[in-house]
Amino acid sequence: MERPMIKAALGAVALTLAAVPVLAQDPQTGGTLRILATGEPDHLDPTTGAMVNTNNFLRAVSRQLISYESSNDETVALAPVGDLATEVPLPTDDGLTYTFTLRQGAMWDAPSGPRQITAADVERGMMRNCNPVLGSFSLSYYTMLIDGMAEFCDGFAKVEPTAEAMKAYMEANDISGIETPDDMTVVFHLKEKAGDFIYMLSLANTAAAPVEVMDYIPDSPEYRENFIASGPYTIGEYVPDTLLRLVRNPAWDPASDPLRAAYVDEIEITMGMQADAIMQQLQSGDADLAYDINIPPAILAMLTAAGDEKLVAISAGNTNFLFINTVSGNNNGALKDLRVRQALQYAVDKAAIVQQWGGPTVAEPVNGIFGLGVLGHHAFDLYPSAEAKGDPEKAKALLAEAGFPDGITLKMPYRNKDLEVATAQTLQASLARAGITLELIPVTAADYYSKFMTNPANTKDGVWDIAPVGWTPDWVGGAARSVFQPQFTYDGTNHQTYNYTDYNNDAANALAAEAINATTPEETATLWGQVDEMVMADAPVVPLIANKNPRYHGEAVQNYRIYALGVEGDWTNIWLDR
Amino acid sequence: MTGTGAPTGEEDGAVVQRGSLDLTLRRLTRDRAAMVALAVIVLVVAMAIFAPVFASLTGHSPITQFRDTGLSPMGIPVGPNAEFWLGADQLGRDVLVRLAYGARVSLLVGVLAACCASAIAVIVGTTAGFFGGWVDLALSRLIDLVMSVPFLLCALALVSVLGPSLMLSVSVIVFFSWAAMARVIRGQVISLSRQEFVQASRSLGAGPLSIMVVDILPNLTVPIIVYTTMMIPSAIVFEATLSFLGMGIVPPTPSWGGMLADASSNSLYLVAWWMVFFPGTALLMTTLAFNIFGDSLRDALDPKSLRTARRLKRDRKGAAK
């Protein structure tokens, strides 16, 4: 996924379907869903899962308070519905209190026999988010919103990272903002109003946790061996980097789960394959789904040309853009000058990048910070050009005005992998038209975010001037906050990892606060749209493309309906016709 | 030239006196494989020298992207046609022109690295072989050390720390190629330094440097020439490997390894065979040509070699018939 390594994300979904499979027959139960993967799920413990595709696995084995119906209709796929909760509650107490009723019959597959999931399990699940061993990527949202969560986590951070010490702390302490008046009721008290709180509870990180897991370090081998499922499947066999077999969870009761039909008997994930081999097996029908690949553009072109209806393009709200280094003193601080940054906006050829990524099926030019399907994404362009091909003349004029009539030389790192190499050279060629020379610096893909970009010294010392990066929002639909806050706000003291240049705009922040508290989707969208335009007026980034994720499935797959958080057909609703 | 067992001089029947260079060239030109290999090498060198001619002939520079004519709207390159003789690559650039400019990189790296490596090998090998004792011990262990390092792994680590560049590629290749040749030279020097002419020289008062350069080095000409020629193709392949892994020449500068990497990334080879075929063939033909030529050169330079002897015998028989 585009998102930096660990904090990879979930999706806001705009479903653009090449074709919607038609329900031709009655659903069939049974069979093994064969899934091919290049690598492993990043984590098996719901608390620690962070990659988008891990959500598909977690959908099958765990349950959250809130989730989404899998559907090919965007409005249905993005509407939060009750999963472990009986329904989506309306907030009370001026938007500060949310009361959930848990579903009767939702069971743990506990070693001692099936056991009802209770309110205490939900609170325990939230507590585990800030365990001192392996935290969750979405923790900051909860500490920011839930009353008493920050205090609980501050204390938890000081606990010795052993299973015993963590268990003792969790048993002795409480999150004051989460109340459990009875076994089947959970009440959340928030510090401030948040229209998107419900969406946050759909993340797997908030999954309830049974009392037994406190005996293990989160996501440790012991945890994995003693996995306790709440979804329709549980781990049957797990060989790291090789095979993950999911079998039916005997404790799961279909009557308690309106979202998962669980047609197939087993789900088998085979790991360690190459993207090409995976595509070949999918096309021949030897496999049913891919786990973690985007279809390579060359194969995509063939499938599109053939009009293959098993090809689906799903947006997860991702965007790709250039971050501009306004911190370093390179070129006498040229990039601190708004005119130079605007020149960059005019110079890039977005149409060329769309073409490089595989054409309009999978990407479109974008002019703001929000991707497709995120409330706030709207058509506007502060730096317009014909067909999004860029306006080199205008860029040259702006550069000359800023004191660089002979052009300027900028350093651009790029990930040494797949499309990124071609994208970098496309950018180099398009900026050259405006007299901007790019010095390309290849960086190993694995080091790009973890070592290169997130090292503030590299930014300060001007090791890079502009850098191609990507972002995927953390949840779906009303997810603008998870794009804006981590990347475009700075409180003056705490550097945020992915706001490389400490960009901040107080007026935009104020408007964003309003947008978060807005009650209707229309109002939310309008306000976030204004935030987007305010940010782009400062030009801290050059938006390039909003891309969709092409997905492909085998012939046997029926009832392929998209699960928004997983950006893939829902494993628990597919049935097979072999 | 068949049946050249008989002398073919200016005057019939006259015995022509030939120098060793002359003899070597005669042996070489008689070897058909060597001549074909040489032709390929000359062709590649010509391609490298006249790269700008290809650019002006087609009107395409090696780094210009032709997004309208070279690519489909979905970003798939077009195949060989009237405008792009060998097709276009994934960015709509001309494969022919890039191939020609890529030959420059390959040859530059190949020849430069091979020459540097053999210079180091000669110095280290001669010193170790001539002085013996602890000098030999130290240098031989150094050779062992370099030969035992997993070179690709080490090269990639080095390049990713220091950042890829042409000079770094050459340095890395040199560092990992001199050892094998140094070991051969050392062996030769050990045996040569016990010969009478060296002892004679020493008894006449010649110093070690003088003996090494004046007496021993000329006797090493054959292995040096042959090994250097054989090192060129491995250096070219090494450079292509580094570029293929994205750690060699920095794009958009064309290099054959980089062109192959372009084809393999994103499965483009499935739809654009020309992106694999042309750079792949160029790489294969060039390395093969250098290898064959080096092989033939060894035969030609060494009249005692088994193969030369066999061929001479065969030729003589043919002449007798």
DSSP characters over A345-411: HHH--HHHHHHHHTSTTTEEE--SS--TTSTT-----SS--GGG---HHHHHHHHHHTT-TT-EEEE
Q: Chain B: give the shortest CA distance to residue A354, in Å.
A: 8
CATH code where residue B50 lies = 1.10.3720.10
A297 and B265 within 8 Å at the Cβ level: the answer is no
CB atoms within 10 A of CB A510: 12
The residues in A 301-340 lying below 8 A from B, measured between CB atoms, are 301-302, 304
pLDDT for A9 equals 38
| Burial of B206 per CB tally in 10 Å (0-12, 13-18, 19+) | middle
The answer for A31, left when phi > 0, alpha when psi is -120 to 50, beta otherwise, is left
User: Does B22 reside within a domain?
Assistant: no
Share of chain B above pLDDT 70, in %: 90
User: Does B60 reside within a domain?
Assistant: yes
pLDDT for A127 equals 94
Per-residue pLDDT of chain A (578 residues; tens, 9 = 90+): 344 433 333 334 444 444 444 445 688 899 999 999 988 888 899 998 878 889 999 999 999 999 999 998 878 888 889 999 999 998 998 889 999 999 999 999 999 999 999 999 999 999 999 898 887 888 888 998 999 999 999 999 899 999 999 999 999 999 999 999 999 999 999 998 888 898 899 999 999 999 999 999 999 999 999 999 999 999 999 998 899 999 999 999 999 999 999 999 999 999 988 888 999 999 999 999 999 887 887 888 888 878 888 888 888 888 999 999 999 989 988 999 999 999 999 999 999 999 888 888 889 999 999 998 888 899 999 999 998 999 999 999 999 999 999 999 999 999 877 788 889 999 999 999 999 999 998 887 778 887 888 888 999 999 999 999 988 888 877 789 889 988 999 888 778 888 999 999 999 999 999 998 887 778 888 999 999 999 999 999 999 999 888 899 999 999 999 998 888 999 999 999 98
Same domain, A480 and A508: yes
Residue A97 near chain B (CB below 8 Å): no
pLDDT for B5 equals 47
Confidence of residue B183 (pLDDT cuts 50, 70, 90): very high
A425 and B252 within 8 Å at the Cβ level: the answer is yes
Which residues from A are below 8 Å from B71, CB to CB?
A: 355
Confidence of residue B316 (pLDDT cuts 50, 70, 90): low
Nearest CA in chain A to B63: A429
The tally of domains found in chain A comes to 2
Residue A446 near chain B (CB below 8 Å): no
pLDDT for A523 equals 87
User: Does A385 reside within a domain?
Assistant: yes
User: Does A307 reside within a domain?
Assistant: no
pLDDT for B308 equals 60
Interval B173-185 mean pLDDT: 90
The yes-or-no verdict on residue B318 having pLDDT over 60 is no
User: Does A471 reside within a domain?
Assistant: yes
CATH code where residue A72 lies = 3.40.190.10
CB atoms within 10 A of CB B157: 12
Residue A300 near chain B (CB below 8 Å): yes
Encoded amino acid at B39, one letter: A
Contact B68, B61 (CB under 8 A): no
Which residues from A are below 8 Å from B163, CB to CB?
A: 441-442
Share of chain B above pLDDT 90, in %: 26
Same domain, A241 and A383: no
Same domain, A122 and A191: yes
The residues in A 236-275 lying below 8 A from B, measured between CB atoms, are 275
Residues B207, A63: Cα–Cα separation, whole Å: 86
Residue A458 near chain B (CB below 8 Å): no
Which residues from A are below 8 Å from B91, CB to CB?
A: 356, 422, 425-426, 429
Same domain, A242 and A327: no
pLDDT for A169 equals 95
CATH code where residue A509 lies = 3.10.105.10
- What's the token pair of residue A201? 């509870």
Candidates B267, B271, B274, B275, partner chain A, best to mutate (most A CBs within 10 A): B267
Residue A357 near chain B (CB below 8 Å): yes
Mean pLDDT of chain B: 84
* Domain enclosing residue B47, as ranges: 32-305
Same domain, A327 and A263: no
Name the helix (H) or strand (E) containing A34. Answer: strand A32-36
Between the CA of residue B289 and those of A242, A287, B3, B222, what are the distances in Å?
A: 43, 45, 27, 19
Candidates A302, A356, A430, partner chain B, best to mutate (most B CBs within 10 A): A356
Which residues from B are below 8 Å from A421, CB to CB?
A: 246, 251, 262, 265
User: Does B313 reside within a domain?
Assistant: no
Cβ within 8 Å of residue B101, ≥6 positions away: B51, B55, B62, B253, B254
User: Does B275 reside within a domain?
Assistant: yes
pLDDT for B312 equals 63
Which strand ranges, in their side-by-side order, compose the sheet holding A243-248?
A233-239, A243-248, A266-270, A32-36, A289-290
Residues A351, A353: Cα–Cα separation, whole Å: 5
The better pLDDT of the pair B235, B164 is held by B235
Candidates A308, A426, A448, partner chain B, best to mutate (most B CBs within 10 A): A426
User: Does B24 reside within a domain?
Assistant: no
Contact A31, A578 (CB under 8 A): yes
Q: Look at the alpha carbons of B308, B314, B316, B319 in this order and tell me if their dihedral is positive or negative.
A: negative
Candidates B65, B72, B74, partner chain A, best to mutate (most A CBs within 10 A): B74
pLDDT for B2 equals 44
User: Does B16 reside within a domain?
Assistant: no
Cβ within 8 Å of residue A182, ≥6 positions away: A119
Name the helix (H) or strand (E) containing A318. Answer: strand A311-324
Encoded amino acid at A297, one letter: P
* Domain enclosing residue A458, as ranges: 319-547
pLDDT for A266 equals 95
- What's the token pair of residue A77? 């796929």
User: Does A282 reside within a domain?
Assistant: no
Nearest CA in chain B to A276: B267
Confidence of residue B311 (pLDDT cuts 50, 70, 90): low
Nearest CA in chain B to A425: B252
Residues B168, B250: Cα–Cα separation, whole Å: 11
Pairs of residues, one from chain A and one from chain B, whose beta carbons lie less than 8 Å apart: 93
What is the DSSP annotation of A506-574? Answer: HHHHHHHHHHHH--SHHHHHHHHHHHHHHHHHH-SEEEEEEEEEEEEB-TTEES--EETTTTEE-TTT-
B91 and A301 within 8 Å at the Cβ level: the answer is no
In the 3-class helix/strand/coil scheme, how is A254-286 assigned residue by residue? HHHCCCCCCCCCEEEEECCCCHHHHHHHHHHCC
Q: What angle do CA B303, B305, B308 make, to 5 degrees?
A: 70
pLDDT digits 0-9 by tens, B184-200: 999 999 998 888 988 89
Which residues from B are below 8 Å from A298, CB to CB?
A: 76, 266-272
Pairing of strands A408-415, A436-443: parallel
Between the CA of residue B136 and those of A263, B132, B191, B195, B223, what are the distances in Å?
A: 74, 5, 14, 19, 20
B267 and A276 within 8 Å at the Cβ level: the answer is yes
Confidence of residue B281 (pLDDT cuts 50, 70, 90): very high
The pTM of this model reads: 0.77
Same domain, A494 and A408: yes
- Euclidean distance between the first and final Cα of chain B, in Å? 15
Same domain, A344 and A254: no
Report ipTM (2 d.p.): 0.70
Nearest CA in chain A to B65: A429
Strand partners, A563: A568
Same domain, A530 and A570: no
Interval B283-297 mean pLDDT: 89
Residues B115, B119: Cα–Cα separation, whole Å: 6
A426 and B65 within 8 Å at the Cβ level: the answer is yes
Same domain, A128 and A146: yes
User: Does A296 reside within a domain?
Assistant: no
In the 3-class helix/strand/coil scheme, how is B235-285 assigned residue by residue? HHHHHHHHHHCCCCCCCCCCCHHHHHHHHHHHHHHHCCCHHHHHHHHHHHH
Cα dihedral B122→B128→B131→B135 (10° resolution): 140
- Looking at residue A24, the DSSP 8-state letter turns out to be -
The tally of domains found in chain B comes to 1
Chain B residues within 8 angstroms (CB to CB) of chain A: 63-65, 67, 71-76, 90-91, 160, 163-164, 246-247, 250-252, 262, 265-272
Residues A40, A50: Cα–Cα separation, whole Å: 12
A298 and B268 within 8 Å at the Cβ level: the answer is yes
Same domain, A344 and A259: no
Q: Which of A110, A99, A84, A111 is nearest to A256 (CA)?
A: A84
pLDDT for A146 equals 94
User: Does A512 reside within a domain?
Assistant: yes
Same domain, A446 and A391: yes
Nearest CA in chain A to B264: A418
- Looking at residue B220, the DSSP 8-state letter turns out to be G
Which residues from A are below 8 Å from B250, CB to CB?
A: 440, 442
Angle of helix A481-488 relative to helix A521-538, nearest 10 degrees?
Answer: 30
Same domain, A562 and A454: no
Nearest CA in chain A to B268: A298
